[in-house]
Structure 1
């Protein structure tokens, strides 16, 4: 269990315990909340028991064995404060209304926060080359020992995927263009899309949800018009006499089975060998996708982050 916790992928909304539970000197409420956001994936297939039973026992062991801070924090937020805000008549009903009101306000504030649009902000340029030097560039860099296998995979599929994208747009590479590859870009909703070999001692290649074109929806099984992918490269293409293109090279996920869409209420996916460049603006959001440990090419979309 400790080993699995160290392998959970990074995400903006999640605190990662790279040293496992052993690295936590005091299990405070914030730590506990973050652990519970991923615990369903950690204990997946560890025990041949009903998952709810495992959850309950682990919960009791953690809270009662280490700290009462979570109970105290929840009691203060949802009982003491709500009680003080009431007029001491029909207390239970007033407290429930107060809690609902807080939840609505919190959700509305969250939505407002991410409605503020922001122009794409690229940062930390990794590579730069002219389109005519693509083969030379790839042969030079893809065998470097410090490159993560995902970035190498992106370089391997760079030329074919870009040619396909240019053909769809009827753009000729003979007119010349310049390529810049970046480590990250800030999306319109302020989320940061990353492709990096090393971020706090670990690689980080963001998983994303992609808004599908209506004309393409019939070709894919989707989550209400949303499909999932892993980002391999983030690029900016400078074209002569045309607007620059802001693209991401992605590797698509697909549902493993039409019969079994969910495990633990999370979408069950597999990585395909399909690679495409897509526009950055087609990216709906950054998502947290966790590999199923001890299984080959099975992934779950984490629905427990919020």
Structure 2
């Protein structure tokens, strides 16, 4: 066979100077597959060669690389953390002033607003007229309990202040150069961002963390305005 004869001569000629031991995907295709292809389908062309290259890539190379990975979950976590650290270092080492290094968060895409005293009434009316994602349902189930824990951290507020607290519900937030979303219909699909949280050292032991970083899913983005206090931008996560 001329193809096999050509392949043997090619190997004999170049193997002394090749560092790859002649392990070339295209050469492998020619030697082991091309003769049968010619016999069955006739003369080959560039499309035939490209087809074999594509099959080799998607059916052999990629599956091998995927199956050869160990501890895939930890690799994903480390990759996300690595990218987060790089983004942070880029921001703090830029030539901008120290004032610009400080991250600011801006909420946008307001959905609704309501007083905390009207929470139950608001939820019932909203559920009757809107579709809720699972994350929305979870947020409404735990919001009051989470706010009670938050209020316990603030001095000088009473029950009347709590009842008069105004909540504004948003769909997304810009944090530095990043955007996170907690949106039931973002291009007609629910989108709730996964986020990395730098935990307080005193609280880190209460959560599953990777070197002090906790990973969570956004459930709700909202602002909280307690009478007599500055408005705060908050996020509810799971």
Per the TM superposition, whether the score is higher than 0.5 is: yes
**Structure 1 position 244, deviation (Å):** 1.3
Counterpart in 2 of 1:54? 63
CA contact (8 A) 2:107 2:233 kept: no
Report which of the two structures shows the higher radius of gyration computed on alpha carbons: 2
* In the alignment, structure 1 residue 147 sits paired with structure 2 residue 129: no
Q: Aligned-pair RMSD on alpha carbons?
A: 3.2
Structure 1: gaps of 5 or more residues: 1-38, 40-50, 59-106, 252-306
Question: Equivalences for 1:45-84 in 2 at 5 Å?
Answer: 54-56=63-65
Q: Which residue of 1 aligns with 2:203?
A: 216
Match of 1:172 among 158, 163, 172: 158
Q: Does 1:226 align with 2:213?
A: yes
**Kept after mapping to 2: 8 A contact 1:147/1:197:** yes
Structure 2 match to 1:112: 90
Distance 1:197 1:208 in 2: 17
- Identify the structure with the greater strand proportion: 1
> In structure 2, what is the equivalent of residue 198 of structure 1?
185
For residue 138 of structure 1, the aligned residue among 119, 123, 140 is 123
* TM-score of the superposed pair, with normalisation by structure 2: 0.56
Question: What is the TM-score of this pair, normalised by structure 1?
Answer: 0.44
1:161 is aligned to 146
Higher helix proportion, which one? 2
Per the TM alignment, residue 108 of structure 1 is displaced from its structure 2 partner at its CA by: 7.5
Aligned-partner Cα distance in 2 for 1:119–1:239: 21
What secondary structure, in the 3-state scheme, does the structure 1 residue paired with 2:184 have? Answer: strand
Residue aligned with 1:164, SS: helix
1:142–1:152: 8 Å Cα contact kept in structure 2? no
The range that moved more, 139-148 or 209-218, is: 139-148
Change (3 A) 1:172 1:229: farther
